[in-house]
Chains A and B, each alone.
Chain A
Amino acid sequence: MLNQFFTNGTMLYSRSVTGWEEAVDLVTQPLLSRETIRPQYVDAIKKSISSPGGTYIDLGYGIALAHARPEMGVVKTSLAVLHVSQPFLLADSPEHRITTLFCLAAESNERHLELMKELASLLSDARWRQQLESVSNEEELRCVFTGEEDNS
């Protein structure tokens, strides 16, 4: 299921970013270029993050799930992820250091059930999180999500 969403180009690695807004720009880029979201979705995410309490998308362990509502510009249910080695601060908040930022675009509240199930099960796995934390390039990131061995 996740493999269907994480195709080439939707799993990104960067050593560092200048801040959370650049992280949002980077992680939404693959979805924009595939036209599964409209540019307004990116603005909606940024607005949501910078609003009071907007850091609720921080799931813990440096992982955040950026998203906005379906009607804010989702064309097709899709997912992208950005991993950085150097943490950035979500909404510039020192309490929210992030190294993995997902962008979820869901067409409706119900359609993404299976996707969320798989994502929740991966993210809640402490051993998997440890693997994720050590990722230092795109190929390693791909392997963490596909479960394949890194042959590079």
Chain B
Amino acid sequence: MATDPMAEIRASFFIECEELLESLQDALSEMDEGSHDNETINIVFRAVHSIKGGAGAFGLDALVGFAHRYETVLDELRSGRLDVSPEAMKLFFHAADLLQDHVRAARDAGPSPEGSEDCLRELEALIGGAPVEVEEEVTDFQPMGLSFDLDLSEDLDLAGPASQGGGCRLSLRPSAALYASGNEPLHLLRALTALGPARITCDTTDLPDLATLDPEQSYLAWSVDFEGEPDEDDLREVFDFVEDVCDYEIEYGAPEAVPPELELSDLDLSAGASEDPEAEEGFGFFKEPPDAVETAPKQPPAVVAPASGAIPAPADPAPREASKENAKEAAAPASEPSATVRVDLDRIDRLVNLVGELVINQAMLAQSVAEAGLPPNSAVMTGLEAFMMLTRDIQDSVMMIRAQPVKPLFQRMARIVREASGAVGKEVRLRTEGEATEVDKTVIERLADPLTHMIRNAVDHGLETPEKRRAAGKTAEGVITLSAQHRSGRVVIEVSDDGAGINRPKVRQIAIDKGLIPADTVLSDAEIDNLLFLPGFSTADQVSALSGRGVGMDVVRSAIQSLGGRITITSEPGKGTRFSISLPLTLAVLDGMVVSVAGETLVVPLSSILETATLTADDIRSLGPETNVIHVRGAFVPLYDLGAELGYRRPKTSYDGGIVLLTAQENGARSALVVDAIMEQRQVVIKGLQRSYGHIPGVAAATILGDGQIALILDPADLVQNATGRTRGADLALAG
């Protein structure tokens, strides 16, 4: 491997951190909803604990420090000494946000986030401000070899002379995954002996001789005979973090304390040495280091099978006691690697491109087969049809690879809500729906900013203060709902609040004051609502730190439109406001209208077309010496000749009978584009022009048609901005 392996391990640690943070947020949200069961609390605890453990291995001291203190408080919660109060939940959320900042800071080697000390103090105040005890953590991995005596490895007596007739026997058999994940049986054994005097016996019967020994595998098992009867829960707690990777069994009563006789002949020189490489692999913190994944399939079944065979009959490999742990352990190594695969985005993009090629190629093939004049039910034609279906399916599946659930995006918004509500002193609850809805990765990335802005707006402007809410007979806590769903081939994301709704008289007044509309304009409610999207509009009485920086909803709208989306607003006074964003599922394909202009084929995005019409001479009115407008539904719309604007031809002398596309721009202005013919409506694969050529005014991108020719995809808004508008004066000699 050419690159630094440590850097890769580090990178995968941070990827893992993101996943842990996500599950941390999930579990906290569940707790917030009222589920205080141990499992949820354990998830929270484990997430923080695992981050701390990993961070320790990379010497990320600030992160370790924060996580450790956070964990200490969570431990109190886990042990039931701390109650889950709303205040505590707020702090836990805040600390989780800060933990995320710490992780980011550690990853980008940036400065530690501010305010973490304050937050920690508040947290520790919950548990009485007890100084954090420095404990020897199981996850604090110094590479440490197990020191076995070669001839006497069965006797690892850590607790003094053992007495017979003990009350409890615990047998454990670590799997290879335990070592691979950087755990260490010695720590477990030490933790066990801390529970009471015990005699520990190592079972080496499975140890093969040196020639056949696989250093990645686990061959040793131990049994611990306690003199007393330690509490079962205490015993199980020792295995909290390794229960997936270590079989153990607890037997109360009086088992024969005599360990199975060890045949020293089986144990050659390799015994001690062989175990060391495993033990020293303690730096790998990850559930599946590449090695482990590779070796997993090779794993001989014999290793898994004698799961708890350390007890009376080590020879019997049948997992008779199919305990929960056993089942879990057997399933875990098989299912974990197959659950998800991390793939470089470039590779997926290459695949998407190739499949796009395949689709085009298939269309070309179909065309030439059709031209060859074969009968429609010939074998070639039917085969081609099946091929066509297959390529469609492949294209859909490949597009799905790029799709990701919106959940991480929504979680980010949850944080925005917490911060924003804290800043303006409102009580806000974010409710999310449809988190599993999948959208193209690029769409998700580019949606973050507009959505953040909208959420802040909702908190700042949408919701009332607690006092006003109470006065209006609502709960003091405002609710913002963020939902996502698929609707007819698009994704609809809605942000709604249960606030006061849009104050229409005020909005209208502001628009008049700012000179955005004439004072005497008559506007419908919907039209007033849409004034919010005008550039330079801000309704907040005071410019707060949150919103109202002059960057308004117009920016949000143009961001959404650049994604090929639309945003609409509905509001009901006293009940709330709802913003609805409708987005295409992917940015790789686009619904377009294929038109022909001056012999060239062009694609106009369907999202920008309002309607198509055939002109009559009466519709066209001349405006300036070279320009025309058309009269459509009571409004005058400027007329542009696409052929002339793109330099394909000169303006025609007459547009009578011509076909126009009526398009709407972002600011609501309409324009009419003259085309020669409308060919079809279809999905086209978008190919960028920027990289190979550069920006062309009025052209958004290119696509490849079924015949292999390239067609340009227009950007009507850009086109109109750069347009001359010449639709007359054909006699004038135009340059070019």
Bound together: no
Binding site for B on A (CB under 8 A): none
Binding site for A on B (CB under 8 A): none
